[in-house]
A and B are shown apart, each in its own frame.
Chain A
Amino acid sequence: MFLPEEKIKELTKKANEIRMSIIEMLIEAKSGHTAGPLGMADIFTLFYFHILKHDPKRPDWEERDRVVLSNGHICPVLYATMAHAGYFPVEELKTLRKLGTRLQGHPHREYMPWLENSSGPLGSGLSQAIGMALADKLDKKDKNRFIYCFMSDGEMDEGNTWEAMMLAGKYKLNNLIAIVDRNNIQIEGITEDVMPLEPFHSKWKAFNWHVIEVSGHDFRFLNEVIEEAQVMSGKPTVIIAHTIPGKGVKEFERDYKWHGKAPSEEEGKMALAELRNVRF
């Protein structure tokens, strides 16, 4: 669906609000991941406010697209986007990681049933998305909806991911679209230092995937490549989304130290001030 200028402006504003919610949640929780959620805020905003076939008032709507979050640790962006989209009150975001919350430190279906999967341990989300895509092929529902899998570059170190990539190619799952957050960081450093992934593009290609690379912060191009993925035949598509970890807060950007820690109250206030001052 075409993205007019007006809509892009609206999405940009929404993503900024979601980033502020992420910071507020993390300050309150005093633990959690900062860089990944900020980096993926634009993509999640685009999906939940433009791409996805879903209905926040009917989260169990049978015809909905399925979203599998594989790298569960970026759940602050998932929760914040879902709240802003109307799945639950935005105020509830402040319960993140607290005893009895629906917003577990890593997402859990038992507490929040309208998640498609519980996740945290890395490398198994793509397989679950493949299972969903296979089931839809079998039931001839693969024309009605898509299975989207959000995953990280760091979790490409997991063997399970490569097992999954092989299988999706074998079964030619064109109803499956994987979006990899290529932010080049993981807990202990730069991905290319910890465990080199390059040549990343050609690795996916060699496993019989249709591969698209795009900036993870450009709504117009993102929208176009998702449309390209949706009409792909005979192959699953991976969108390698180049994102800036910590995007939106200069102090946090591109620094792997922000992968797995939450801002202090002071750092958080500074980040919120920066986000509040963004001019559209």
Chain B
Amino acid sequence: MLNPKLKLNPKIFNQDCEQAPIRRGFGQGLMLAGEKNENVIGLCADLTESTAMNLFADKFPERFIQVGVAEQNLVTVASGMAAMGKIPFCSSYAMFSPGRNWEQIRTTITYNDRPVKIVGSHSGISVGPDGGTHQALEDIALMRVMPNVDVISPCDAIEAKKATLELAKSGKPAYLRLVREKTPIITTEETPFSIGKAEIYWMPDTGFAQVGIIVTGGLMSRALFAAKELEAEGIKTKVLNLSAVKPLDEKEVLALAKECKAIVTAEEHQIAGGMGSAVAEFLAQNFPVPIEFIGVRDQFGQSGTPNELIERYGMGKNAIKEAVKKVLQRKI
């Protein structure tokens, strides 16, 4: 069942479940953050509308900096603004930022300890028809490998809005990973959120779970459907929303591993270096259990509809169910 304490969207499993692009939640959050704090700045590299920064830019034109198609400049200018007490959010497609400008982010933001928020929209395979050049499948790895940065990948538009508001209050560098396509609304305004706190979204009605499914980002709805169908087949699972890949909620991940002794991780990202790797690194040292990884297997993407691509690259509901069954067999 859905965790009753979290006030999740009761329509999650309905045909008419609302959908919204996760990036839209960022746009709304940034506008609200801008209302609350006049030090919040928006910078963009010619993708203002695509990254939903236009809501902020229209409302606060004097606090919006358009740098043109220049992602290296985007983040380094933001670093300078942060040095003067500003809280800059800089948005582009994840493939270009942090894809193209990684060293600038490292030197001038994380090493330099400036509280710039890198916002990478159009992450994952679900970017769709634009094809492999525009599908960022490596960005979690690029960002989480650096010291001194939070890496947040919200599961829906509402969580993205809350994450944006929280990041505006934090004095740390951060990466916010967004998805282009509409995804089902999983949470509600009342669902608790804080950076670094993972929450169990699905749990067995009674007794212990046999497998723990850890999800980050837009695959949450598919994971919940998988969990519901598995329950009907007699397999009890828990689904953990790990929106912060960093800092990792070690307490929740450890508790889930101890209860289930088998884990499946799911993300729209390369398996190498992503959220699953972060979980595996932690569990290997603290409580080793078998893990199956849902993600892209050392390949680039291609053109297609988002749904086709998610199925083609093994990240759909059935793939999650199969991974659960596979890891169950590996349980000692």
Please give the residue numbers on chain A whose beta carbons come within 8 Å of chain B beta carbons, in ascending order.
Answer: 66, 68, 108-110, 116-121, 123-124, 127-136, 138-139, 159-160, 163-164, 166-167, 171
Contact = CB atoms under 8 A, between A and B. Distances in A.
Given A117-B79, A164-B76, A171-B65, 19 more contacts: A66-B83, A124-B79, A127-B79, A128-B76, A128-B77, A128-B108, A130-B73, A131-B78, A131-B80, A135-B85, A136-B84, A159-B72, A163-B73, A164-B73, A164-B77, A166-B70, A167-B67, A167-B68, A167-B77
Contacts of A133: 80
Given A118-B112, A160-B73, A131 B104 contact: no
Contact of A128 (B70, B80, B86, B111): B80
B2 interface: no
A142 to B, nearest CB: 11
Given A134-B80, A135-B84, A139-B84, A124 B63 contact: no
A167 B80 contact: no
A139 B62 CA distance: 11
Interface in B40-84: 41, 62-63, 65, 67-68, 70, 72-73, 76-84
A116 B111 contact: no
Contacts, number: 99
Contacts of A118: 107-108, 111-112
A51 to B, nearest CB: 20
Interface string B206-221: 0000000000000000
A166 B77 CA distance: 12
Nearest to B80: A131
A108 B103 CA distance: 15
Contacts of A121: 103-104, 107
Interface string B77-107: 1111111111010000000000000011001
B73 A128 contact: no
Contact of A160 (B65, B76, B82, B88): B76
B113 interface: yes
B74 to A, nearest CB: 9
Contacts of A139: 84
A134 B72 contact: no
A129 B111 contact: no
B237 to A, nearest CB: 43
B310 to A, nearest CB: 35
Nearest to B62: A138
Contacts of A163: 67-68, 70, 72-73
A163 B62 CA distance: 21
Nearest to A165: B73
A167 to B, nearest CB: 6
Nearest to B69: A163
Contacts of A68: 80
B303 to A, nearest CB: 29
A66 B79 CA distance: 14
A160 B81 contact: no
A167 B79 contact: no
B84 A124 contact: no
A123 B104 CA distance: 9
4 tightest A-B contacts by CB?
A131-B80, A127-B76, A135-B84, A163-B73
Contacts of A123: 72
Nearest to B108: A124
